[in-house]
Amino acid sequence: MNTGFNHPSFFTIERAASSLLGIKKYGIHLNAWVERQGKIYLWVARRSKNKPTFPGKLDHLVAGGHGTGFTIEQTMIKECAEEAGISEAIAHTARPVSMVTYNMDTGQKLQQDNLFIYDLKLESSFVPENTDGEAEEFYLWPVDKVLNTVAATDDYKTNCNLVIIDFAVRHGFLKPDQAFYTEICAGLQQQI
């Protein structure tokens, strides 16, 4: 039997239940960044305290699960509009750049996720606007502050850490001569 991302579905299931059954999920994360005076800044969202998962944690400006009936690009464009008020025209300039996979055993469920990663360079004048109530604040932080937050705290939603590390590798903020570089790169692509 052939099963996988690009194969026909036999049935659909509520996304929230999939981890309870050990079913692999797919989603998108978008690194929204701005360049000012030669330095890169990343947009950071703070999740609503009313979210059932990771309330109040830091998050990407745009991220979401891939639902039935949408392509990955359609999911990214939909999430851009809902979570940050990014127009479809601007969202179309986002570039697919990577994929991060991970498995997380929470004790109650096995979460197997595959995240399609996009980078979107925004104009420095852009100001995000949440339209679905999932974020309560936005920050524009220098990459160093974002990386220090990932390294020294648990302030981010867990899967965001992997996507930020992937961004740091691809943009040269983490370099091959730094400790654990090869292990970090290999860890971003682990699958069952």
Domain carrying residue 154: 17-187
Domain membership of residue 119 (yes or no) is yes
**Quick one: pLDDT band at residue 75, thresholds 50, 70, 90?**
very high
pTM: 0.87
8 in any annotated domain: no
Q: How far is CA 119 from CA 6, 12, 76, 182, in A?
A: 23, 29, 11, 22
CB 66 within 8 A of CB 154: no
In a domain, 146, yes or no: yes
Q: Is residue 6 part of a domain?
A: no
Q: 106 pLDDT exceeds 90?
A: no
Structural domain contains residue 130? yes
pLDDT of res. 192: 37
What whole-number distance in Å separates Cα of residue 160 and Cα of residue 176?
A: 22
Residue 55 lies in a domain: yes
> With 80 as the cut, is the pLDDT of residue 54 above it?
yes
Name the nearest CA neighbour of 31 among 189, 146, 131, 190: 146
Domain harbouring 144, CATH code: 3.90.79.10
State pLDDT tens for residues 91-105. 999 999 999 887 767
Q: How large is the greatest C-alpha to C-alpha distance in the chain, in angstroms?
A: 54
**What's the total number of domains in the chain?**
1
